[in-house]
Amino acid sequence: MSAFNAIGEQREIDRDEFTPGVEPQPTWCPGCGDFGVLKALKQALPEVGKTPEEVLTVTGIGCSGKLNSYLDTYGFHTIHGRSLPVARAAKLANPELEVIAAGGDGDGYGIGGNHFIHTARENHDMTYIVFNNEIFGLTKGQTSPTSPKGHKSKTQPSGSAKSPLRPLSTSLNAGASYIARTAAVNPNQAKEIIKEAIEHDGFAHIDFLTQCPTWNKDARQYVPYVDVQDSEDYDFDISDRREAAEMMHEAEDVLNEGTVLTGRFYVDEDRPSYTEEKQAVGEMPDQPLAERYFDDDAEWERSYDLLERHT
Amino acid sequence: MSDDELIWRIAGGSGDGIDSTSQNFAKALMRSGLDVFTHRHYPSRIRGGHTYVEIRAAAHEVQSRGDGYNFLLALGDSFARNPQEEAYYGNEELKPLSENLDELREGGVIVYDEGLFDDEDLEEIGLEERAEENDWHVYPVDLRSIAKEHGREVMRNTAGVGVTAALLGMDLGHIEDLMEDAMSGEIFETNLEILHEAHEMVEEEFDLGHDLRIPEGEHETEQALLSGSNAIAYGAIDAGCRFIAGYPMTPWTDVFTILSQNFPDMGGISEQVEDEIAAAALAVGASHAGVKAMSGSSGGGFALMSEPLGLAEMTETPLVLVESMRAGPSTGMPTKPEQSDLEFVLYTSQADSQRVVFAPGNIEEAYEQTRLAFEIAWDYQIPAIIIYDQKLSGENKNVDVEFFDREPAPDLGSTLTEEELKEAAHDASGKFKRFNYEAAEDGVAPRSLPGQKGGRYLATGNEHSPVGHISEDPDNRTFQMERRLEKLEAIRADLDDRESNQTYYGPQKAEYGIITWGSSQGAVAEAIDRLNDDGHSVRGISVSDMMPFPSDELEEFVESVDEAMVVEMNATGQFRGLLQKELGRYGEKLTSLLKFNGNPFEPAEIVEGYEVNVAEEAREPTAQVRIEPAAGD
Ligand SMILES: Cc1ncc(C[n+]2csc(CCOP(=O)(O)OP(=O)(O)O)c2C)c(N)n1
Ligand code: SF4
């Protein structure tokens, strides 16, 4: 695969370029679903023609948050729940960056839930991958917002009284324009979905089912696994909000019964991204703001120019 | 208390147009050659509720609201009335008159809206007796009727200005010009008619018994009337800031609004987001990607920024935050000033975190130090915070236009170009050694921006190796920590090489000292002048560098005087605490004068505090201020 890099040179890129050469080696547990995301990303990025330097991955805190330690792009490993506000500002400052945000279900749907809703609502042009293992991994197995009702953990010893959050429907209601679910156990689908999400012009949310064999031992490995696009049992219009909503509800209902419905649930190609909306109302420059500082010819307005209204 | 100054107070209901009227009148006074200073008092309500604006104008420099005032224009509070029946809700409608009498100086002038009050009301507040006692000159004018006859009742503000001008012997020219700038067509014509009719009516109906007249003055250079928030916003613009993210909270909203309104025209980006955590995190993200970015809030909102602030410190992302204080704790008094977030701002965020904190004390300093905050933040890759308060944020003062004529400074400081990155150190896998302690000077390791060729690294809030990998290696930890700490010492040395941010008042040598910070500066400056005029020997310093602290400078100051009083608007003496911590002694030399009732200091209160506190006159200070004895007393 060959591509043009940021300064217009053509060069060969492959997945190895996205692997840090010296260290560190992933510290995830054997059998962890997080490996699946890393692998799918390393495959997808060269296939969509990105060089490591054009990509900024922004992660939160958790096992999932380590993603960009093991993926060689520009990276920002932020704090618990805050990957999205950091990511979307980077995209606003430099729309030429390919921004991919990632984190866990505790990180993204719990502590960062407010940011998730508003980033989806604004439809920022970025990809957001949530490693959904239905558990807090890094802090050793507490109940997470997606753990099933009745789930027992050290902090909810009698079983959780809460119903799980429904990530797909929440995302749809909040305004994401691309919503899919995939799972680490199906690397091919995962790679294809990540490629589509990156190429999608708007907020692409992937609920990525990642098994945690260490703390969620009873949990399914997310099989049996059904791709709603491949199966003849499911026929719905992916661009129709209502039909998509129904499919999402079904997928969210049956997940707790052991059927794993995956695939693309909603794609809105027509909705302008936030950058486009902001440019349309005149709140955002056409050229990347970040470049202005390196442009010797840029004219910088002075406060002096604004004083007339005060005299 | 000088007689050659006008302190004009316009009082009415919140939402009655008091703000715009006073803004224009202040400008008219400035254009007529006077120095002006405004003070805004308002309740935390959107409409209704008694509110006032004070404008102090004199031919000499004015640095504070002054003591009391000498001209009251009392309009009715229209939101205290039932619009159908013109019935009163309690005595709210009287408040613009009744609530303002205590601070009116002897010999002062009162104009009130006659149409609103009947004799019973006036008797209730004892206006006649009080006027006689204090030699006040009272002019009842039916402002509402004048306004109504020509246009609409809301235009009674204009009638009030016309009456004011006539009573002060002031030319209407500047007022007319400003009205023309602000409105057009029929509205302008009507207002003009009202202005003139009110003016003529005074000339025809009243014999002026008072002495107060408009002072005569002249400016040698062109002046602009600006608030502290304007100055901070303009400082940011000139520093090259082009990204702001925020969530509204009074009084920080002012800076946020000014930049949001100006950025579209200058290619900047403003984002109103879901909360303050997001706001500060956005500023971190934008700065990381290569734009000079800022965010800010007031106490409660700033509390939420604690996390992203720490992230910026650990990832060495340059950033400017502003913290606009108001009275607390918690939601406190949203529209009242206080200087009580100092300790919070110095130590917000966990662990051995470091940041730069500047506390400008006046409008020029607000501009200057905002520029400086950006410069230091980008040179040293550290967050810088501007801490100021509701008073400085909202007060307006005339500033020489030339003062703002500085070149823009969009320099990204210690950020490398792609050319420079080629020469920089990389590890074996080709990653840029972003956090390279070997190559760091003054603790600063130059950075790259995402997208640049040859600059790939990982930024992380975890402790990290030179290329940014998470690391708990003890040696690396020690090196990185020491490198980051080194920056603050370097910044202190850098600041010491420049013109001091501290401002001095009074003679160079004196027996007594007054130490203050932030917006109390103006009142302290005037108090020092008065004390010296009265034969005391007092010098003052207003401190702006809160972190890193200018210990040498303060030590010199404290050493130079026998005793010193620390003046600040909070209940626990936070700045005095900082002083003693930083200087490590002198506790016995320092006393405190504290005020925390929601209103800023007036110079007379500081004079009085000094007399009781330092000169040890045996009398009780006013109830509104508190004196804290020196340590060991
Ligand atoms: C503000 C804050 N609260 C709590 C933590 C502790 N913490 C670290 S990771 C984590 C949960 C991670 O769970 P999840 O997001 O599901 O990710 P996983 O580890 O399962 O991949 C928590 C609570 C923290 N680092 N910061
Ligand atoms: S604890 Fe669970 S989520 Fe974390 S690395 Fe281990 S298996 Fe993966």
Query: Which tokens sit at A90?
Result: 């980077």
* Closest ligand (CA of A64): 1
pLDDT at B362 over 80: yes
pLDDT tens by residue, A208-218? 999 999 998 86
Nearest by CB to A115, from B243, B274, B415: name it.
Answer: B274
3-state secondary structure of A180: strand
Q: How far apart are CA A134 and CA A142, in angstroms?
A: 10
Tell me if chain B has a CB within 8 Å of the CB of A296.
no
As for how many domains chain A has, the answer is 1
- In the numeric block, the tokens 């108090």 are attached to B527
Residues of chain A positioned with their CB less than 8 A from the CB of B275? 114
pLDDT at A264 over 50: yes
Is position A202 within any domain?
Answer: yes
- pLDDT for position B91: 66
A139 ligand 1 Cβ < 6 A: yes
**Among chain B residues, CA nearest to A27:** B470
Nearest to A221 by CA among A247, A248, A186: A186
How far does residue B288's CA lie from ligand 1's centre (Å)? Answer: 23
How far from chain centre, in Å, is Cα B148? 37
Q: How far apart are CA A186 and CA A164, in angstroms?
A: 24
Closest CA to ligand 1's atom 23: A139
**In this prediction, what percent of chain B has a pLDDT beyond 90?**
83
- Could you tell me the CATH number of the domain that includes residue A110? 3.40.50.970
Instruction: List beta partners, residue B9.
Output: B54, B72
pLDDT band for position A11 (cuts 50, 70, 90): low
Is position A127 within any domain?
Answer: yes
Which H or E run contains B522? Answer: helix B521-533
Which H or E run contains B485? Answer: helix B474-497
Among A130-134, B6-10, B45-49, B207-211, which is the least confidently predicted range? B45-49
pLDDT band for position B77 (cuts 50, 70, 90): confident
| Mean of pLDDT values over B41-68 | 86
Tell me if chain A has a CB within 8 Å of the CB of B422.
no
Residues of chain A positioned with their CB less than 8 A from the CB of B226? 310
Nearest to A266 by CA among A205, A183, A184, A188: A205
CA of A213, closest atom in ligand 2: 7
pLDDT band for position B469 (cuts 50, 70, 90): very high
Which H or E run contains A251? Answer: helix A241-255
Which candidate in B36, B226, B242 is best for mutational testing of the A interface (most A CBs within 10 A)? B242
Residues of chain B positioned with their CB less than 8 A from the CB of A90? 285-286, 288-289, 450
Residues of chain A positioned with their CB less than 8 A from the CB of B245? 89
pLDDT at B311 over 90: yes
pLDDT at B43 over 80: no
Nearest to B376 by CA among B547, B515, B176, B521: B547
* Radius of gyration from C-alpha coordinates of chain A: 20
Substitution site in A66, A80, A209 for ligand 1 pocket (most atoms within 8 Å of beta carbon): A80
Interface size between A and B, measured as CB pairs under 8 A: 222
Is position A112 within any domain?
Answer: yes
Is position A243 within any domain?
Answer: yes
* Closest ligand (CA of A219): 2
Is position A5 within any domain?
Answer: no
pLDDT at B81 over 70: no
The distance of A232 to chain B (nearest Cα, Å) reads 42
The distance of B450 to chain A (nearest Cα, Å) reads 6
pLDDT band for position B313 (cuts 50, 70, 90): very high
Domain, as residue range, for A268: 27-306
For residue B154, count CB atoms less than 10 angstroms from its CB and return exposed for 0-12, middle for 13-18, buried for 19 or more.
middle
Mean of per-residue pLDDT scores for chain A: 93
Residues of chain A positioned with their CB less than 8 A from the CB of B426? none
pLDDT band for position B206 (cuts 50, 70, 90): very high
pLDDT band for position A1 (cuts 50, 70, 90): very low
Q: Do B406 and A302 touch (CB under 8 A)?
A: yes
How far does residue A141's CA lie from ligand 1's centre (Å)? Answer: 10
How far is CA B52 from each of CA A164, B48, B138, B162, B498, rounded to the nearest angstrom? 53, 12, 19, 18, 41
Tell me if chain A has a CB within 8 Å of the CB of B360.
no
* Radius of gyration from C-alpha coordinates of chain B: 27
Mean of per-residue pLDDT scores for chain B: 93
CA of A141, closest atom in ligand 2: 1
Is position A192 within any domain?
Answer: yes
Tell me if chain A has a CB within 8 Å of the CB of B237.
yes
Tell me if chain A has a CB within 8 Å of the CB of B410.
yes
Q: Do A22 and B266 touch (CB under 8 A)?
A: no
- pLDDT for position B612: 86
pLDDT tens by residue, B537-575? 999 999 999 999 999 999 999 999 999 999 999 999 999
* Closest ligand (CA of A65): 1
pLDDT at A238 over 70: yes
pLDDT tens by residue, B208-262? 999 999 999 999 999 999 999 999 999 999 999 999 999 999 999 999 999 999 9
* Interhelix angle B156-168/B18-31, nearest 10 degrees: 30
| Mean of pLDDT values over B121-128 | 88
| Mean of pLDDT values over B579-601 | 92
Q: How far apart are CA B491 and CA B442, in angstroms?
A: 9
- pLDDT for position B117: 74
Tell me if chain B has a CB within 8 Å of the CB of A67.
no
Among A38-52, B5-19, B155-169, B491-505, which is the least confidently predicted range? B5-19
| Mean of pLDDT values over A165-191 | 97
Residue type (1 letter), B246: G
How far does residue B314's CA lie from ligand 2's centre (Å)? Answer: 26
Which DSSP state fits B240?
A: T
Tell me if chain B has a CB within 8 Å of the CB of A242.
no
| Mean of pLDDT values over B331-358 | 96
- pLDDT for position B407: 93
Is position A90 within any domain?
Answer: yes
Q: Do B453 and A92 touch (CB under 8 A)?
A: no
Nearest by CB to B226, from A77, A302, A310: name it.
Answer: A310
Nearest to B339 by CA among B617, B92, B600, B72: B600
A32 ligand 2 Cβ < 6 A: yes
Interface of A with B in 105-124 (CB under 8 A): 114-115, 117-118
For residue A146, count CB atoms less than 10 angstroms from its CB and return exposed for 0-12, middle for 13-18, buried for 19 or more.
buried
Cβ(A44)–Cβ(A14) below 8 Å = no
Q: Do A290 and B289 touch (CB under 8 A)?
A: yes
Collect all residues with Cβ–Cβ distance below 8 Å to B534 and sequence separation of at least 6: none
Is position A145 within any domain?
Answer: yes
Q: Which residues of B329-352 are buried (b: 16+ CB within 10 A; e: fewer)?
A: eeebbbbbbbbbbbebbbebbeee
Residues of chain A positioned with their CB less than 8 A from the CB of B268? 285, 289
* Closest ligand (CA of A145): 1
**Among chain A residues, CA nearest to B222:** A311
Which DSSP state fits B26?
A: H
Instruction: Give the domains, in start order, of chain B with CATH numbers.
Output: 5-205 (3.40.920.10), 225-404 (3.40.50.970), 418-496 (no CATH), 503-628 (3.40.50.920)
Nearest by CB to B469, from A24, A87, A93: name it.
Answer: A24
Tell me if chain B has a CB within 8 Å of the CB of A173.
no
| Mean of pLDDT values over B375-395 | 97
**In this prediction, what percent of chain B has a pLDDT beyond 70?**
96
- pLDDT for position B79: 65
Q: Do A93 and B285 touch (CB under 8 A)?
A: yes
Q: Do B285 and A85 touch (CB under 8 A)?
A: yes
- pLDDT for position A225: 86
Instruction: List beta partners, residue B58.
Output: B5, B35
Tell me if chain A has a CB within 8 Å of the CB of B584.
no
pLDDT at B92 over 80: no
Cβ(B81)–Cβ(B93) below 8 Å = yes
A213 ligand 2 Cβ < 6 A: yes
How far is CA B187 from each of CA A120, A163, B177, B330, B614, rounded to the nearest angstrom? 46, 61, 14, 44, 56
